[in-house]
């Protein structure tokens, strides 16, 4: 597959990650850090914020990009994460719908074991629009590891939670903080390591890897976001995160 974008640190491919993962050699990257689509219920009920705090009802993102990427089912997600475990030498870290994350306590994807579920506790969560129940205000962080390797990380006894805002820059409807992802890069990889993100979104993992002296491979299905990533990675200065 011809790269959509490439520089000394990052290679980005436009395509379906399932075929790409199937062609990758086993244990060919050091770590996977990714943000797959969430469940149908979560996508259906999404409400997006603009940078000035005025919500946009339905699917419209402030950047003009729409929340029309597909949700993902449990079986499909498990198969993709299992494939990520095959190509990773150790960790597979994913922000997941909690409906998906907690199923891995009983049965993790093939070849992986659940090491911990953390949370991203948001300082700027969306309110509950219906007003009839508390808002959620957090997302699950799933720390998975290959079953045939001993786990290690740079965090020693630290917890795996994150407390902070979205850092949304209008790049993608499901923003993840660049600072949070950069922290994972430092904790779970070492300088010179290669990180894979099969759901590259707007390139937060790729940007974080580049900023932290790692190499990265990204795969993104939607060409609109490939263009966003290419522009973002060509920037000499950092700017805020998205998925």
pLDDT in tens, the chain (243 residues): 899 999 999 999 999 999 999 999 999 999 999 999 986 555 455 444 433 333 332 333 333 444 455 678 999 999 999 999 999 999 999 999 998 999 999 999 999 999 999 999 999 998 998 999 999 999 999 999 999 999 999 999 999 999 999 876 678 888 699 999 999 999 999 999 999 999 999 999 999 999 999 999 999 999 999 999 999 999 864 444 445
Tell me if residue 75 falls in helix, strand or coil. Answer: helix
Alpha-carbon distance values, 169 to 3, 51, 89 (Å): 25, 7, 32
The Cα–Cα gap between 201 and 13 comes to: 12
By percentage, how much of the chain surpasses pLDDT 70? Answer: 82
Residue-range domains of the chain with CATH? 5-233 (3.40.50.150)
Which candidate, 86, 6, 72, 35, places its Cα nearest to that of 198?
35
The Cα–Cα gap between 209 and 205 comes to: 6
Q: What is the pLDDT of residue 51?
A: 37
pLDDT tens profile 140-152:
999 999 999 999 9
Q: Is the sign of the CA dihedral 64, 3, 143, 73 positive or negative? A: positive
Tell me if residue 95 falls in helix, strand or coil. Answer: strand
Which candidate, 226, 182, 186, 184, places its Cα nearest to that of 204?
182
Q: What is the pLDDT of residue 172?
A: 84
pTM assigned to the model: 0.87
DSSP structural state of residue 62: T
pLDDT tens profile 1-49:
899 999 999 999 999 999 999 999 999 999 999 999 986 555 455 444 4
3-class DSSP string for 199-234: CCCCCHHHHHHHHCCCEEEEEECCHHHHHHHHHHHC
């Amino acid at each position: 597959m011809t790269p959509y974008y490439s520089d000394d640190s990052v290679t980005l491919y436009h395509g379906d990650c399932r075929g790409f993962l199937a062609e990758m050699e086993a244990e060919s990257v050091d770590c996977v850090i990714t943000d797959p689509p969430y469940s149908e219920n979560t996508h259906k009920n999404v409400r997006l914020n603009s940078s000035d705090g005025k919500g946009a009802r339905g699917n419209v993102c402030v950047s003009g990009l729409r929340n029309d990427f597909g949700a993902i089912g449990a079986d499909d997600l498990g198969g993709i994460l299992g494939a990520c475990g095959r190509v990773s030498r150790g960790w597979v870290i994913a922000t997941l719908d909690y409906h998906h994350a907690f199923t891995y306590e009983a049965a993790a994807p093939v070849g992986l074991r659940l090491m911990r579920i953390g949370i991203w506790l948001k300082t700027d969560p969306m309110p509950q629009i219906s007003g009839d129940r508390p808002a959620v205000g957090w997302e699950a962080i799933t720390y998975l590891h290959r079953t045939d390797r001993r786990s290690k990380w740079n965090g020693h006894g630290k917890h795996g939670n994150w407390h902070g805002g979205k850092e949304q820059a209008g790049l993608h409807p499901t923003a993840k903080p660049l600072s949070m992802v950069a922290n994972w890069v430092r904790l779970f990889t070492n300088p010179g390591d290669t990180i894979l993100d099969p759901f590259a979104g707007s390139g937060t993992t790729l940007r974080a890897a580049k900023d932290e002296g790692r190499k990265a491979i990204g795969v993104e299905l939607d060409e609109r976001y490939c263009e966003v990533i290419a522009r973002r990675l060509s920037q000499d200065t950092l700017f805020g995160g998205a998925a």
